[in-house]
Amino acid sequence: MPSPRHSQRPRFAILGSGRGSNAVALMQAFRDGSLAAELAVVISNVSGAPILQRAGEYGYPAVLIESANLPRAEHESRIRAALVQQNVDHILLAGYMRLLSADFIARWPGVILNIHPSLLPDFPGLAAVAAQWRAGVRVAGASVHFVDAGIDTGPVLLSGSIDVCGDEGEAGLAQRILTEVEHTIYPRAVRLLLERMARGGPLHTQASTRSSASATTDAPATAYRKDET
């Protein structure tokens, strides 16, 4: 039986598989009241994932739904049941290392957001930072995007960028993108989403970029640069 709803504010869930640093940035934003919404639950598919401990430290319900040795359909059914139990409206993926099925995405009535360490549509998929480093990009960053059935192909809600120094190395660049961009733009993106929901207009004006990695849109996503004040 679903938990009683104490507020009409949107309710979110965070799904993650690892240490949860982006999840912590989101938890802080929910806890300090800078987001006009509630964080209902944090779910992980990995036993012992630090994200579960961090959720407990911040006072949020932490739920383990292990995916190991479980068919994807059954695992997603259990996730859906947990989300419904907590009256969740929208989902935030934060280091969730499993692809949600097209069926789950199509049937979920709310928004699903993900954060990816590149300026989409460039460098989608795994090892995005390594690919950027090998390509010698001068500007790198991260993107918060709506999740669709493709891999990092949904419309971008908010992106953020930094200038690459050139001497930080692949691991250093990954750390800079994480701490200087991702931890900043994910809470900002949720705030932007809530503002658009409150206005009742479209949540995005982009077409999916699934058709081409170099696709352009007639209405670019909101952008953020680290040197902005």
Instruction: Please identify every residue annotated as catalytic.
Output: 116
Q: Which of 43, 85, 83 is nearest to 62 (CA)?
A: 43
- For 95, 122, 186, 203, 204, the CA distances from 140, given in Å and listed in that order, are 19, 10, 16, 25, 23
| Distance from C-alpha of 188 to C-alpha of 144, rounded to nearest angstrom | 10
Alpha helical stretches, state H, the chain: 21-31, 50-57, 72-85, 102-107, 128-135, 169-176, 183-199
Show Cβ contacts of residue 104 under 8 Å, excluding neighbours closer than 6 positions.
Answer: 76, 79, 80
| Distance from C-alpha of 1 to C-alpha of 26, rounded to nearest angstrom | 27
| Distance from C-alpha of 29 to C-alpha of 91, rounded to nearest angstrom | 15
Rounded to 5 degrees, φ, ψ at 148 are -125, -165
